[in-house]
Amino acid sequence: MAHRWTNTLTRADATPKAAWLNRRQIMAGMGGAAALLAAGQGRAQELVPNTLEQISSYNNYYEFGVGKDDPARNAGGLVTQPWSIRVDGLVDRPGDYALADLLEGLTVEERIYRFRCVEAWSMVVPWNGVELADVLAKVGVQSGARFVAFETVVQPEVMPGVRQRVIPFPYVEGLRLDEAMHPLTLLATGIYGQPMPNQNGAPIRLVVPWKYGFKSIKSIVRITLTDSQPPASWNIINGREYGFYSNVNPEVSHPRWSQASERQIGGGLFSPRIDTLMFNGYEAEVSGLYAGMDLRANY
Amino acid sequence: MAPAINRALRHVPAWPIYGLGAAWLAWLFWQGLTGALGPEPINALERRYGEVALWLLIAGLAVTPLRVWSGVSLLKYRRALGLTAFGFVVAHLLVWAVLDLQSLSRIGGEIVKRPYITLGFAGFVLLVPLAVTSNNASIRRLGALGWRKLHRLTYAAVLLGAVHYVWLVKGWPVEPFVYLALVLALLALRLVPARRPQGRPGPGAVVKG
């Protein structure tokens, strides 16, 4: 089942780090005008994977605080070993699986994906992970299952955001079964070939590249197959702003801000804004999942 | 205690507030340029300028209640606090418009379509006449009473700023709500009948300098 999807973005797309830094310095030097000119050029030029430093220092992981640098600062205490995942609901082989057992025999691939936050910033991340479909095949999805529910770990003693109850915890998310089975949908265990940093959702997290980042739930401890739509944290907190689907869509604004454009992290103070792509650039791969659906109503 | 503090403050001029404010503003910009504000400096700088503006506006709003309830008078620093706050508001607005949105059509669209931005922008508009009249010549021209009336716009502007902040965040972070509570408390104190210490001027009195 692995290798069902091939990167159009590969490591070959990555500008050597020295050249990338040099380019940034030139851009900074020439100031905003140059940056605005660069914005008019093709999108392909923007598809440069972010550095591990950037990817692991600018995070939304509210269990560790609401600031973007809070997770990097506070997540060091997260206990990720041992790690077990409870698999239950409409599955043939429910149980508490040790992480290694759940991944045994599966192929870990590198997938370079665009990652688009609902807050209108984005990154390009070289994930390492297995297809969620392979994991689901392993536990045996029963015929009545239509959705997959996920839950993030809660370790209050090391999670200041949980103690302050900035949002209700545990964080939960969900996908329709066909979304979960899609070859793009990944359970990621690393970045740049290194184990997943705690602040990025160690030891295992979901990655659904055509949806806003908050759908890609971190540090998963439970996967449940259900016959009805499971609750999703931001949808519960503010359903008017965050729908269950939350597919990246430049034409449907967040009620408080536009989703038509975004800024890729790492371009400095004069970083250009770029147009957001339908389904975050994965339209060809996933639009079939939503054929006939009103994407404005099912935001 | 209060008279002693007031006596000591007589020798502390207000003008260094402008210099410190400008230096702080430039320092934050420098941090953004050099990466010290993290990998997404535009949003960080926008946020910091907005926060500092709110702190300074709240400080300005605290001057009168402090004098009424404790007798400590910081009146001579209020103009510098207000004008420095305005400088940070302008910087906040410029970062948003020039570095963040980068296009006039986006700027216009956001001001019209996004209520939190509409509110924030309205707050800025209210502050403009206050900044323009924060000088002795304007006080003479408007008369103390007229000037004081005009400058009550501060109350609305600061409240708009605090609501603007609360409205833009996701979830329930502590900070913006603390600022809003402070603003509401400082405004509410003005409704409490003043038990003002004998022989001191009224709460809205204009002090030059």
Determine, for residues B40 and A58 on separate chains, whether the beta-carbon distance falls below 8 Å. Answer: yes
pLDDT (0 to 100) of residue B206: 52
Nearest CA in chain A to B115: A256
Q: Quick one: pLDDT at residue B43? A: 94
**Residue B172: its pLDDT value, please?**
79
For position B173, what pLDDT does the model report?
83
Tell me what the pLDDT averaged over chain A comes to. Answer: 89
Average pLDDT of chain B, as a whole number: 91
Is A14-290 in CATH node 1.10.3720.10? no
| pLDDT tens-digit series, residues A208-251 | 999 999 999 999 999 999 999 999 999 999 999 999 999 999 99
CB of B168 less than 8 A from some CB of A: yes
- pLDDT per position as a tens digit, A111-128: 999 999 999 999 999 999
Tens of pLDDT, residue by residue over B46-103, are 999 999 999 999 999 999 999 999 999 999 999 999 999 999 999 999 999 999 999 9
Q: Give the model's confidence band at B193: pLDDT under 50 very low, under 70 low, under 90 confident, else very high.
A: confident
> What confidence tier does B197 reach under pLDDT thresholds 50, 70, 90?
low
Reported ipTM: 0.78
Chain B: residue nearest A62 by CA? Answer: B171
Annotate B102-130 with three-state secondary structure: CCHHHHHHHHHHCHHHHHHHHHHHHHHHH
Residues 59-98 of B with CB under 8 A from A: 98
A268 touches chain B (CB under 8 A): yes
Residue where the block lists tokens 């801000």 = A257
Q: What is the C-alpha to C-alpha distance for residues B179 and B65, in angstroms, rounded to an integer?
A: 16
Pairs of residues, one from chain A and one from chain B, whose beta carbons lie less than 8 Å apart: 69
Interchain CB distance below 8 Å, B43 and A268: no
CA atoms within 13 A on the CB side of A180: 24
Q: What is the CA radius of gyration of chain A?
A: 19
pLDDT computed for residue B181 by the predictor: 97
- Does A62 lie at the interface with B, CB-CB under 8 angstroms? yes
Report the pLDDT averaged over residues B27-44: 95
Quote the CA–CA distance of A221 and A235 in Å, as a whole number: 20
pLDDT, residue A278, reads 98
Domain boundaries, chain A: 14-290
Cβ burial A186-213 (10 Å sphere, 16+ → b, else e) = bbbbbbbeeebbbbbbbbbbbbbbbbbb
The pLDDT value given to residue B196: 54
Cα A149 from Cα A180, distance rounded (Å): 10
**A2-11, A41-50, B150-159, B187-196: the lowest-pLDDT one:** A41-50
Select from A58, A164, A165 the Cβ nearest to the Cβ of B38. Answer: A58
- Which of A23-27, A279-283, B112-116, B203-207 bottoms out in mean pLDDT, i.e. has the lowest? A23-27
A296 touches B at CB < 8 Å: no
Scanning every residue of chain A, which has its alpha carbon at the shortest distance from the alpha carbon of B175? A66
CB contact under 8 A, B115 and A256: yes
A272/B167 Cβ within 8 A: no
Q: Which residue pairs from B103-107 have beta carbons closer than 8 angstroms and sit at least 24 positions apart in sequence?
A: B103/A273, B106/A258, B106/A261
| Distance (Å, whole) CA B127 – CA B144 | 18
> Residue B192: what pLDDT?
84
Residues of B in contact with A119 (CB under 8 A): 170
CB contact under 8 A, B38 and A69: yes
Interface check for A54 against chain B (CB to CB < 8 A): the answer is yes
C-beta atoms of A257 and B171 within 8 A: no
Beta bridge partners of A89: A225
- Cβ of A30 under 8 Å from any chain B Cβ? no
Average pLDDT rounded to a whole number, residues B170-188: 92
Nearest to B114 among A58, A257, A272 (CB): A257
Range from A216-220, B32-36, B200-204 carrying the lowest mean pLDDT = B200-204
CB contact under 8 A, A256 and B40: no
Q: What percentage of chain A exceeds 70 in pLDDT?
A: 86
Within 10 angstroms of residue A284's Cβ, the number of other Cβ atoms is: 10
Using an 8 Å CB-CB cutoff, list chain B residues near A165. 172
- Please identify among residues 148-167 of chain A the ones whose CB lies closer than 8 Å to any CB of chain B: 164-167
- Coil, strand, or helix at residue B2? helix
Q: Give A31-78 pLDDT, tens digit per residue.
A: 443 444 444 444 444 468 999 999 999 999 999 999 999 999 999 999
Looking at the predicted structure, is the pLDDT value of residue A23 above 80?
A: no
Task: Look up tokens 């915890």; give the residue.
Answer: A169
pLDDT of residue A10: 53
Q: Which of these, A120, A114, A127, A125, lies nearest to A258 by C-alpha position? A: A120
pLDDT beyond 60 at B156: yes
In this prediction, residue A191 carries a pLDDT of: 98
Which residue of A124, A241, A256, A274 to mutate against B (max B Cβ within 10 Å)? A256
Q: Measured between beta carbons, which residues in chain A are less than 8 angstroms from residue B169?
A: 66
Question: Is B167 an 8 Å CB contact of chain A?
Answer: yes
Whether A89 and A100 have beta carbons less than 8 Å apart is answered as no
Lowest mean pLDDT among A15-24, A54-63, A68-77, B171-180: A15-24
Question: Do residues A234 and A215 make contact, with C-beta atoms less than 8 angstroms apart?
Answer: no
C-beta separation of B79 from B132 below 8 A = no
Cα-flanking dihedrals φ and ψ of residue A261, to 5°? -140, 170
Percent of chain B beyond pLDDT 70? 92
pLDDT at A28: 42
User: Within an 8 Å CB–CB cutoff, is residue B41 touching chain A?
Assistant: yes
Give A84: exposed, middle or buried? Use CB within 10 Å, 0-12, 13-18, 19+. Answer: middle
| Rounded CA separation B109/B96 (Å) | 13
- By C-alpha distance, the chain B residue nearest A58 is B39
